[in-house]
Amino acid sequence: MVHWTAEEKQFITSVWGKVNVEECGAEALARLLIVYPWTQRFFSSFGNLSSPTAIVGNPKVRAHGKKVLTSFGEAIKNLDNIKSTYTKLSELHCEKLHVDPENFRLLGDILVIVLAAHFSKDFTPGCQATWQKLVGVVAHALAYKYH
Amino acid sequence: MLTAEEKKLITQIWDKVKPRQEEFGVEALMRLFTAYPTTKTYFPHFDMSAGSDQIRGHGKKVAAALGNAVSNMNNLSQALSELSNLHAYNLRVDPSRFALQLLSQCFQVVLAVHLGKDYSPEVHSAFDKFLSAVAAVLAEKYR
């Protein structure tokens, strides 16, 4: 079980309280597809991913980004039990989607950068440290059911 | 490896960074040590308090080296040759470039914090690629 200090919980909830899940999720997923183009292989049914502009404007990317980040919100509601929160999603990503877990780490890092751009100076080193820890825990939970 | 368009984006964004490059270098290091405490093992002799002379001095060095890399994107291997030797033979920073990947993440967070929307997806993509290239050159001589 992961231990979260009171300060870390504060950093998480105060940031999350101000996040626009739809915008932020869309941006994070779009950046993943742009910065690490091989990840596009998982979204061949999404239509036009031919350029950064196309990706950012793609409605399926936006919708899926929102879905991904909404799921992230579940982890935040269950900080003391992230592993079991993600059991089903972990199995899905392994057995059906066949996603290399390294990609979860990449998405996590991108999410941190998106938050940094959005929150600017409020995204202090301590705040970043907590969020790096959180995305790491989520990535680990998603990889947990791999075999 | 870097396209002409990417080099242009990197140069443009570095023009915005240049007047504050020392400040950014220092902040990147502070974020590195805060978010990834294991990286402190490379600096056992440092005063780790915020604003310490050593962290300021080192942040300035790191930023200057990156600036040099930006000016020599067509010849990173040669431009970073000395630093490559240093990291491989003397410092022996984690050979999987892991520690350097963490610094890359922290430097990008600094850019995002201070440049906001200017750190667009296209700039982000180009700069991430650039930092990977720099890390690869620094790790070139490990074995």
Dump the DSSP string for A55-119.
Answer: HHH-HHHHHHHHHHHHHHHHHHHTGGGHHHHTHHHHHIIIIIS---THHHHHHHHHHHHHHHHHH
**pLDDT at residue number A54:** 97
Q: Percent of chain B at pLDDT above 70?
A: 97
Of the candidates B34, B114, B119, the beta carbon closest to that of A126 is on B34
Question: Number of folded domains in chain A?
Answer: 1
Question: Number of folded domains in chain B?
Answer: 1
Residues listed for chain B: 143
Q: Percent of chain A at pLDDT above 90?
A: 89
Task: Name the phi and psi angles at A47, rounded to 5.
Answer: 90, -135
Mean pLDDT for B35-40 is 91
**pLDDT at residue number A139:** 94
Pick the closest to residue A117 from B124, B129, B109 (CA basis). Answer: B109
For the stretch A54-66, pLDDT in tens is: 999 999 999 999 9
Task: Name the phi and psi angles at B89, rounded to 5.
Answer: -90, -40
Kindly state whether residue A8 falls inside one of the protein's structural domains.
no
Domain of residue B121, residue span: 4-142
**pLDDT at residue number B1:** 84
Kindly state whether residue A1 falls inside one of the protein's structural domains.
no
Q: Which of A35, A120, A124 to mutate to test the interface with B (most CBs of B within 10 A)?
A: A35
- Dig out the tokens for A40 from the structure: 């596009």
Kindly state whether residue A4 falls inside one of the protein's structural domains.
no
Report pTM. 0.93
Inspect the interface and report whether the beta carbons of A35 and B121 lie closer than 8 Å.
yes
Domain of residue A136, residue span: 17-143
Identify which has the larger pLDDT, B140 or B93.
Answer: B140
pLDDT band per the 50, 70, 90 thresholds, residue A28: very high
Kindly state whether residue A45 falls inside one of the protein's structural domains.
yes
Q: Percent of chain A at pLDDT above 70?
A: 100
B interface with A, Cβ–Cβ < 8 A, is: 27, 30-31, 34-36, 105-106, 108-109, 112-117, 119, 121-122, 124-125, 128
Exposed, middle or buried, A136 (CB in 10 Å: 0-12/13-18/19+)? middle
Instruction: Using the predicted structure, report yes or no on whether residue A38 has a pLDDT greater than 80.
Output: yes
Give the CATH number, domain containing residue B40.
1.10.490.10
Indicate the DSSP class of residue A44. Answer: G
Instruction: Using the predicted structure, report yes or no on whether residue B93 has a pLDDT greater than 80.
Output: no
Q: Does A57 lie at the interface with B, CB-CB under 8 angstroms?
A: no
For helices B21-35 and B53-71, the axis angle rounded to 10 degrees is 120
Exposed, middle or buried, B26 (CB in 10 Å: 0-12/13-18/19+)? buried
What is the 3-state secondary structure of B91-132? HCCCCCCHHHHHHHHHHHHHHHHHHHHHCCHHHHHHHHHHHH
pLDDT band per the 50, 70, 90 thresholds, residue B96: low
Of the candidates B35, B36, B108, the beta carbon closest to that of A113 is on B108
Kindly state whether residue A5 falls inside one of the protein's structural domains.
no
- Rg of the Cα atoms in chain A: 15
**pLDDT at residue number B100:** 86
For the stretch A84-140, pLDDT in tens is: 999 999 999 988 888 999 999 999 999 999 999 999 999 999 999 999 999 999 999
Mean per-residue pLDDT of chain B: 92
Give the CATH number, domain containing residue A114.
1.10.490.10
**pLDDT at residue number B71:** 97
| A73-79 long-range Cβ contacts below 8 angstroms, 24+ apart | A73/A16, A73/A21, A75/A134, A75/A137, A75/A138, A75/A141, A76/A12, A76/A13, A76/A16, A76/A134, A79/A2, A79/A4, A79/A9, A79/A12
Instruction: Using the predicted structure, report yes or no on whether residue B69 has a pLDDT greater than 70.
Output: yes
- Pairwise CA distance, residues B57 & B79, whole Å: 21
Residue B58: how many other CB atoms lie within 10 Å: 16
Inspect the interface and report whether the beta carbons of A35 and B105 lie closer than 8 Å.
no
Kindly state whether residue A110 falls inside one of the protein's structural domains.
yes
**A30 and A55 in contact (C-beta within 8 Å)?**
yes
- Pairwise CA distance, residues B96 & B135, whole Å: 10
B122–chain A nearest CA distance, Å: 7
For the stretch A63-81, pLDDT in tens is: 999 999 999 999 999 999 9
- Pairwise CA distance, residues B84 & B69, whole Å: 12
